[in-house]
Amino acid sequence: MTLALPRWREHSILPGFAPSFAFTIAYLSLIVLIPLAALVARPWEHGLAGFWSTVTDARVLAALKLSFGAALAASAVNAVMGLIVAWALVRYDFPGRRLLEAAVDLPFALPTAVAGIALATLYGVNGWIGGLFAPLGIKIAYTPTGVFVALLVVGLPFIVRSVEPVLQEFDQDVEAAALTLGASPRRRALSVILPAVTPALISGFSLAFARAVGEYGSVIFIAGNMPMRSEIAPLLIITKLEQFNYAGAASVGLAMLLASFAILLVINGLQAVLARRGA
C-alpha cells in the first residue's frame, strides 16, 4: 500500500520549491506582514477604549466616509468609462490611438503632487474647467467633488489595463454567431461580451478602489482639506503623526485597513461566484 503525497510534495519538473517558497515567505514578511503587524499592535497602547474613542471621533468618521465614499464612487464611474475606453482602444484603429494608449498610462508615471497641482489649477474657479462651472454656482476644487475628480484620474488606468487584454483575446466568432442568430448590438454587448469581461472588470475595480482609498498626493492639493468637509483619512493620519499621536494615527490606519479588507473580501467573493458561474 502506498501513501499518496500531497500535491505540493509531488515531484515536479521545476525544482527549487523549498528555496523559492522560503524566499517568498521571507520577502512578504519583511515588506507586508511585519509592517501590518506593527500597525495592528500600535493602536492598543491606549487600550480598546482609546482605540474606539479615536475611530468613532466625528472628525475621523467624516474623513473615513469621504475617503471610502469617494473611492467607491470614482471606481464605479471608472468601471463604466474604463470599459468604454478599453473597447475603443482594442476594437478600433484610428489616428492618435498610440497617443491615447500612452495617455491612459500617464497617471502611473506622473508624480501625484504634480497631478494634484494640475487638477487644482484646472478645476479652480479661475481654471479652464472650473471657470465654466463657477457661473452656475458649482465649485469643484477645494470641495469633496474635487476629491472625486482626483480619484477618477488615478483609478482609470487600472480599469483599462485590466479589461484590455480580455477584449484582445475575446473570440469574435462568438459575436458573429450571435449576430447570425439575430441578436441586436445591445443584446450582443449584454449577453456575450459583458459576461466575458466582468471578472476582469471586477479586478480592475478592486485595484482602482485600493489605490483611491490610500491616495494622498493628488488629492490634498484639490481637496481643500477642511475638517468635517473635505479632509481625507490619509491626511488625518499625517496630521496625527505631526502631533506625535502615533497611537491615534495607527488607529485610523487600522480602521482603514479593516474596512478595505472587508470591502475587497466582498468584491473578491463576488468575482469568485461569477467565475464559477462562467465555468
Convert the pLDDT of each residue in 101-148 to its tens digit: 889 998 888 888 888 999 999 999 889 999 899 889 899 999 999 999
Do 46 and 247 meet the contact criterion of CB atoms below 8 Å apart?
yes
- What's the pLDDT tens digit per position in 89-98? 988 888 888 8
Domain count, the chain: 1
Pick the closest to residue 163 from 193, 192, 188 (CA basis): 193
Among 41-45, 112-116, 177-181, 269-273, where is mean pLDDT lowest?
177-181
**Is residue 240 a part of any domain in this protein?**
yes
CA distance 65 to 259: 11
Give the per-residue pLDDT at 278.
Answer: 60
Give the per-residue pLDDT at 267.
Answer: 86
**Is residue 172 a part of any domain in this protein?**
yes
- At 66, the pLDDT band (50, 70, 90 cuts) reads very high
User: How many CB atoms are located within 10 Å of the residue 66 CB?
Assistant: 22
**Is residue 108 a part of any domain in this protein?**
yes
Grid cell, residue 92, equals 478600433
pTM for this prediction: 0.85
**Is residue 12 a part of any domain in this protein?**
no
**Direct distance between the N- and C-terminal alpha carbons of the chain, in angstroms, rounded to an integer:** 36
Domain with 251 in it? 58-278
Better pLDDT: 65 or 5: 65
Do 208 and 159 meet the contact criterion of CB atoms below 8 Å apart?
yes
**Is residue 62 a part of any domain in this protein?**
yes
User: How many CB atoms are located within 10 Å of the residue 198 CB?
Assistant: 19
Do 83 and 159 meet the contact criterion of CB atoms below 8 Å apart?
yes
**Is residue 67 a part of any domain in this protein?**
yes
**Is residue 149 a part of any domain in this protein?**
yes
CA distance 147 to 70: 7
CATH number at residue 116: 1.10.3720.10
**Is residue 153 a part of any domain in this protein?**
yes
Give the per-residue pLDDT at 276.
Answer: 74
